Amino acid sequence: PVVQPGVAGAAGPVVPPCPGRIRYFKV
Amino acid sequence: APHGPELTYRQLNCDDPETEQVAQVAVDYINSHLLQGYKHTLNQIDKVKVWPRRPFGEIFELEIDTLETTCHVLDPTPVANCTVRQLVEHAVEGDCDFRVLKQDGQFSVTFAKCDSSPDSAEDVRKVCPDCPLLAPFNHSRVVHAVEAALAAFNAQSNGTYFQLVEVSRAQFVPLPVSTRVEFAVAATDCVAKEVTDPAKCNPLAEKQYGFCKATVTEKVGQEDVAVTCTLFQTQPVVPQPQPDGTDVVVPTSAPVDPAASVSPPASPPAASLVVGPMV
């Protein structure tokens, strides 16, 4: 039998490092 | 250059505290170098790359978005206490590229380039169909509104004659039909009640700036002028160190950093004097 290797570290959603948060509003 | 491993940058999160620290250095740089218009505040960090710098330090390559506040650059109010210009007021954003050197824990700006642009008319209309849009400063209605407002302000003055420094904002209001303007003024060596030729008045060595908001409303056969000016604390004439060790008193230079040139904390608080409104 062929066994699929486990996928490590796929826990939560990945937050893109950039761009950062908007402090007020986007123009 | 000696052979070695290629320089590669380090990717930092845009919301990392270190990135935010560098972005704040960039925003402070903007506000201390603006010569006209309004102070800006940080809105978003778009990109950041950190390059190693030979022989020491790191270079932060940064792209940031800023937003215009309602504080004029001549206003000594710290930008942290300034209100961001809202979308319904026709917001203005800044788009900036910076390179900031970090060495021995100290930051210094090595490159800065900013462009500012108002929000599009379409976007303003989406959030507020009837809101007034920004108007060009050289429009005859704007020029007239500023002249009428400054004349009204000086007519009420028992002291110094104030002259125009710059027009910083103008909008046409549809109803009632009126022109809203904002402009900076400076105290001169003339007495307001005695001025015959304003061109002969000179700004004082001890600079005193003010910021005015006015609305000129068109009426049948006449107009109403409402103007409110805030006068800022005078900027003292500071002694400049000379090569031979003597100090020479010269006027403070153009408004590079008004916040930095107000009196030290031992002086009376930098309270602004609000004058008006006068109709």
| pLDDT tens-place string over residues B3-59 | 666 678 888 999 999 999 999 999 999 999 999 999 999 999 999 999 999 899 999
Segment B81-106 shows an average pLDDT of 97
Q: How far apart are the first and last CA of chain A?
A: 57
Chain B residues whose CB is inside 8 A of the A25 CB are: 43, 67, 87, 91
- Residue B249 pLDDT class (50, 70, 90 cuts): very low
Read off the pLDDT band of B237 (50, 70, 90). Answer: confident
How many cross-chain Cβ pairs, A to B, lie less than 8 Å apart? 50
Q: Residue A19 and residue B45: Cβ atoms within 8 Å?
A: yes
> How many angstroms away from the CA of A22 is the closest CA of chain B?
5
**B17-21, B22-26, B63-67, B244-248: which range is least confident on average?**
B244-248
The region of weakest confidence among A10-19, B85-94, B172-181, B192-201 is A10-19
Tens of pLDDT, residue by residue, chain A (27 residues):
666 665 555 566 666 799 999 999 999
Q: Check pLDDT > 70 for residue B201.
A: yes
| ipTM of model | 0.79
| Nearest residue in A to B119, CA atom | A27
The residue ranking higher by pLDDT, B94 or B196, is B94
Q: Which tokens go with B207?
A: 């600079």
At residue A2, the 3 state secondary structure works out as coil
Write out the E strands in chain B: 10-11, 38-52, 58-72, 92-103, 106-118, 160-173, 178-191, 209-219, 222-231, 238-241, 247-250, 273-278
Residue among A14, A22, A27 with most chain B CBs within 10 A, to mutate: A27
Predicted local distance difference test score (pLDDT) of residue B266:
33
